[in-house]
Amino acid sequence: MLATLPLLKNIKFPTINRDNLEILQVNLGYLCNQQCLHCHVNASPSRTEIMSHETCEQIINYLHHNSIKILDLTGGAPELNPNFRYLVETVRKMGIHIIDRCNLTVLSLAEQSDLADFLTDNQVEIIASLPCYLEDNVDKQRGKGVFKSSIVGLQQLNSLGYGQKNSNLKLNLIFNPQGSVLPAPQTTLEIDYKKFLKEKYNIVFNQLYTICNMPIKRFGSTLISNKQFDEYLQLLQQAHNDNNLNTVMCRNLVSVDWQGYLYDCDFNQMLGLALFWHSLEKRHISELNNMNLTNNPITVAGHCYACTAGQGSSCGGALS
């Protein structure tokens, strides 16, 4: 795996500061049943990093004492962590909105046959990656058979009420480009997705979120191997839109890794860039109760242009 961080650190990015903290995004581990080319985590079936029960308890303790609005669970495949259901059930009882970043194929695993019912019972919002509505493109990025399995997962979720009109069960999809280009406009792409998936597979969903590929980890290494890294960074920099700086997700989110350490976002987590600018010492969820992050500077580098290029990009899709 070729390292992108030294290259990214040499690229200047405008200073940005934090607003009030509203979202805790927790990475439950890097284990995944897939091994996608565009993965910014390097997740795979062979990864062993998994959040422990003790760290989950520290997260619950933090949520008990603070007014966080959303718990956003990611991975890997977060559902493969044996503590996933305990965490969801406990936090749900606290009235906090929960998002599960689900890869859809996990719903088809034999040992997860009751997962969709569990998510429904706990009113968990699902944000699922489907980088194209065409089978060949999805399988090329995410592995053979992933598209068909994703369609089965979406149909199962629809049958339980997810994505349906007037339902509280939200189902949002994520699009990311096939390679080193910017995403197409979110609003027009959403219309295409909705039309195609409804007509061909009778699938409905709430919103499509477009996300720009991050030049880090597996995708970053592929760019370096293909000698496209500099060209892609130039494309992102040239498309930078200052207005997106006001709404990048790191302003109101903190990312927690599988050991409980804190970062400004999941991308910084993957690069090992700690929460405080120039801080060599990692901060832990057990310390977060005593920190006031508002107005603190965010740790930035060249990869941040993937969040501000063109229409902007975040875990909740386009920014402008």
DSSP 8-state assignment for residue 104: S
Task: Compare residues 14 and 161 and give the one whose CB is closer to ligand SF4.
Answer: 14
Task: Compare residues 91 and 298 and give the one whose CB is closer to ligand SF4.
Answer: 298
| Under rule CB under 6 A, residue 34 binds ligand SF4 | yes
Q: Kindly compute the dihedral angle of the four CA atoms of residues 21, 271, 54, 68, in this order, to the nearest 10 degrees.
A: 10
Of all helices (H) and strands (E), which one includes residue 265? none
| Under rule CB under 6 A, residue 249 binds ligand SF4 | yes
Task: Compare residues 56 and 138 and give the one whose CB is closer to ligand SF4.
Answer: 138
> Which span (18-26, 157-165, 177-185, 242-250) binds ligand SF4, by CB under 6 A?
242-250
- Distance of closest approach, residue 166 Cβ to ligand SF4, in angstroms: 30
Task: Compare residues 55 and 269 and give the one whose CB is closer to ligand SF4.
Answer: 269
CB-based contacts of 107: which residues, under 8 Å, 6+ apart?
Answer: 115, 116, 152, 153, 156, 157
| Under rule CB under 6 A, residue 219 binds ligand SF4 | no
Task: Select the residue interacting with ligand SF4 from 138, 298, 309, 318 (CB under 6 A).
Answer: 298
- Distance of closest approach, residue 168 Cβ to ligand SF4, in angstroms: 25
| Under rule CB under 6 A, residue 217 binds ligand SF4 | no
CB-based contacts of 6: which residues, under 8 Å, 6+ apart?
Answer: none
Q: Which of 94, 92, 111, 102 is nearest to 28 (CA)?
A: 102
Task: Compare residues 115 and 161 and give the one whose CB is closer to ligand SF4.
Answer: 115
113 — phi, psi (to 5°)?
Answer: -60, -20
- Distance of closest approach, residue 34 Cβ to ligand SF4, in angstroms: 4
> Which span (17-25, 29-37, 84-92, 167-175) binds ligand SF4, by CB under 6 A?
29-37
Task: Compare residues 90 and 173 and give the one whose CB is closer to ligand SF4.
Answer: 173
- The Cα–Cα gap between 212 and 162 comes to 26
Task: Select the residue interacting with ligand SF4 from 275, 304, 309, 319 (CB under 6 A).
Answer: 304
Per rule CB under 6 A, count of chain residues that contact ligand SF4: 25
- The Cα–Cα gap between 257 and 239 comes to 30
- The Cα–Cα gap between 113 and 30 comes to 21
CB-based contacts of 206: which residues, under 8 Å, 6+ apart?
Answer: 163, 170, 171, 172
Cα-trace Rg, the chain: 19
- The Cα–Cα gap between 217 and 258 comes to 17
Task: Select the residue interacting with ligand SF4 from 58, 83, 158, 268 (CB under 6 A).
Answer: 268
> Which span (60-68, 89-97, 166-174, 244-252) binds ligand SF4, by CB under 6 A?
244-252
- Binders of ligand SF4 among residues 66 to 105 (CB under 6 A) are 75-77, 103
- The Cα–Cα gap between 46 and 40 comes to 16
Rule CB under 6 A: which residues touch ligand SF4? Answer: 32, 34-36, 39, 41, 43, 75-77, 103, 129, 142, 248-250, 264-265, 267-268, 298, 300, 303-304, 307
